[in-house]
Chains A and B, each alone.
Chain A
Amino acid sequence: MPLTRRNLLDLDDFQRDEISLILDTSVSMTEILSRQIPRVPTLRGTTIANLFYEASTRTRVSFELAARALGADVVNVTASGSSVEKGESLVDTLRTVQALGVDVVVMRHHDAGAPYLAASILDCPVINAGDGWHAHPSQALLDLYTVRSHLGDLAGLKLVIVGDIMHSRVARSNIWGFARMGARITLCGPPQLVPRELTQLPGTDGVIQMEPDFDLAVEDADVVMVLRIQQERMDGVHLPDLREYATLYALTEDRLARARPGALVMHPGPMNQGVEISAAIAYGPNSVVEEQVTNGVAIRMASVYLLVGGGEEAGANGD
Chain B
Amino acid sequence: MAIRDVLIRSGRVIDPAANRDEIADLLIRAGKIEAVGDSLGTPNGAEIIDAAGQVVAPGLVDPHCHLRQPGFEYKETIGSGSLAAAAGGYTTICSMANTEPVADARAVIETILEVAERDAVIRVLPLASVTVGMQGRQLVQMGELSDAGAIGFSDDGIPLSSTHTMRTALEYATRFGHPVANHAEDAELIAGAAMHEGLTSARLGLPAAPRQAEEIMIGRDVLLSELTGGSYYALHLSSGGSVELIRRAKERGAPVRAEVTPHHLTLTDAIVGGRNEPDAAHLQPYDADTKVNPPLREQSDLDLLREGLASGVIDCVGSDHAPHARHEKEVEYAQAASGFSCFETAFATMLSLVHDGVLDLPTLIERMTTAPCRVYGLPYGSLSNGVEADIVIFDPDLEWTVDREQFLSKGKNTPYHGLPMKGCVTRTIFGGVTVFDLAAAAAPISGSVGD
Which residues of A approach B to under 8 Å, CB–CB?
Answer: 12, 89-91, 109, 111-114, 116-117, 119-120, 131-135, 169, 172, 195-198, 200-201
**A172 contacts which of B199, B205, B284 (Cβ < 8 Å)?**
B205
B206 within 8 Å of A by Cβ? yes
B332 touches A113 (CB 8 A): yes
A109 and B206 alpha carbons, distance in the complex (Å): 13
A200 and B285 alpha carbons, distance in the complex (Å): 19
Task: Mark out the residues of chain B between 13 and 49 whose CB falls within 8 Å of any chain A CB in the assembled complex.
Answer: none
B204 within 8 Å of A by Cβ? yes
**A132 contacts which of B327, B330, B334 (Cβ < 8 Å)?**
B334
Task: Mark out the residues of chain B between 67 and 124 whose CB falls within 8 Å of any chain A CB in the assembled complex.
Answer: none
Residues 280-295 of chain B: 1 if any A CB is under 8 Å from the residue's CB, otherwise 0? 0000111000000000
A109 and B335 alpha carbons, distance in the complex (Å): 12
Q: Which residues of A contact B330 (CB under 8 A)?
A: 89, 91, 117
For residue A66, give the distance in angstroms from its CB to the closest CB of chain B. Answer: 25
For residue A277, give the distance in angstroms from its CB to the closest CB of chain B. Answer: 23
B331 touches A117 (CB 8 A): yes
A21 and B331 alpha carbons, distance in the complex (Å): 33
For residue B390, give the distance in angstroms from its CB to the closest CB of chain A. Answer: 42
Tell whether A89 pairs with B331 under 8 Å between CB atoms, given A116-B284, A116-B285, A117-B286. yes
Task: Mark out the residues of chain B between 184 and 230 whose CB falls within 8 Å of any chain A CB in the assembled complex.
Answer: 198-199, 201-207
Which residues of B approach A to under 8 Å, CB–CB?
Answer: 198-199, 201-207, 284-286, 327, 330-335
A117 and B330 alpha carbons, distance in the complex (Å): 8
B205 touches A90 (CB 8 A): no
A165 and B203 alpha carbons, distance in the complex (Å): 11
Give 3 nearest A-B pairs by CB, closest first: A113-B286, A134-B205, A133-B205
Of B206, B286, B332, B333, the most chain A CB neighbours within 10 A belong to B332
B334 touches A112 (CB 8 A): yes
For residue A42, give the distance in angstroms from its CB to the closest CB of chain B. Answer: 31
A169 touches B205 (CB 8 A): yes
A111 touches B199 (CB 8 A): no
Q: Which residues of B contact A169 (CB under 8 A)?
A: 205
**B204 contacts which of A90, A119, A134 (Cβ < 8 Å)?**
A134
Q: Which residue of A lies closest to B332 (CB)?
A: A111
For residue A185, give the distance in angstroms from its CB to the closest CB of chain B. Answer: 14
Q: Which residue of A lies closest to B206 (CB)?
A: A112
Q: Which residues of B contact A172 (CB under 8 A)?
A: 203, 205
A112 touches B331 (CB 8 A): no
**A112 contacts which of B198, B284, B333 (Cβ < 8 Å)?**
B333
Q: Which residues of A contact B205 (CB under 8 A)?
A: 112, 131-135, 169, 172
Q: Which residues of B contact A132 (CB under 8 A)?
A: 205-206, 334
**B203 contacts which of A116, A119, A120, A201 (Cβ < 8 Å)?**
A201
For residue A21, give the distance in angstroms from its CB to the closest CB of chain B. Answer: 23
A113 touches B199 (CB 8 A): no
What are 30 pairs between A and B in contact, CB < 8 Å?
A: A89-B327, A91-B327, A91-B330, A111-B334, A112-B205, A112-B206, A113-B285, A113-B286, A113-B333, A114-B286, A114-B332, A116-B286, A117-B330, A117-B333, A119-B284, A120-B284, A131-B205, A132-B205, A132-B206, A133-B205, A133-B206, A134-B206, A169-B205, A195-B202, A197-B198, A197-B201, A197-B202, A197-B203, A198-B203, A201-B202
A89 and B202 alpha carbons, distance in the complex (Å): 27
For residue A257, give the distance in angstroms from its CB to the closest CB of chain B. Answer: 32
Q: Which residues of A contact B203 (CB under 8 A)?
A: 12, 172, 197-198, 201
A117 and B334 alpha carbons, distance in the complex (Å): 12
Q: Which residues of B contact A198 (CB under 8 A)?
A: 202-203
A91 touches B334 (CB 8 A): no
For residue A76, give the distance in angstroms from its CB to the closest CB of chain B. Answer: 21
A197 touches B204 (CB 8 A): no
Q: Which residue of B lies closest to A172 (CB)?
A: B205
**B286 contacts which of A12, A112, A201 (Cβ < 8 Å)?**
A112
Q: Which residue of B lies closest to A136 (CB)?
A: B205
Q: Which residues of B contact A131 (CB under 8 A)?
A: 205
Q: Which residue of A lies closest to B335 (CB)?
A: A111
A110 and B285 alpha carbons, distance in the complex (Å): 17
A113 touches B202 (CB 8 A): no
Q: Which residues of A contact B334 (CB under 8 A)?
A: 111-113, 132
Q: Which residues of B contact A120 (CB under 8 A)?
A: 284
A113 touches B331 (CB 8 A): no
Q: Which residue of B lies closest to A120 (CB)?
A: B284
For residue A77, give the distance in angstroms from its CB to the closest CB of chain B. Answer: 16
A196 and B208 alpha carbons, distance in the complex (Å): 13
For residue B204, give the distance in angstroms from its CB to the closest CB of chain A. Answer: 6
Q: Which residues of A contact B335 (CB under 8 A)?
A: 111
Q: Which residues of A contact B284 (CB under 8 A)?
A: 116-117, 119-120
Q: Which residues of A contact B207 (CB under 8 A)?
A: 133
Of B205, B286, B334, the most chain A CB neighbours within 10 A belong to B205
A109 and B332 alpha carbons, distance in the complex (Å): 9
A117 and B287 alpha carbons, distance in the complex (Å): 8
Q: Which residues of B contact A111 (CB under 8 A)?
A: 332-335
For residue A235, give the distance in angstroms from its CB to the closest CB of chain B. Answer: 13
A135 and B284 alpha carbons, distance in the complex (Å): 16
Q: Which residue of A lies closest to B326 (CB)?
A: A91
Of A89, A91, A113, A200, the most chain B CB neighbours within 10 A belong to A113
Q: Which residues of B contact A196 (CB under 8 A)?
A: 202
B202 touches A112 (CB 8 A): no
For residue A68, give the distance in angstroms from its CB to the closest CB of chain B. Answer: 30
A112 and B198 alpha carbons, distance in the complex (Å): 16
**A201 contacts which of B199, B285, B331 (Cβ < 8 Å)?**
B199
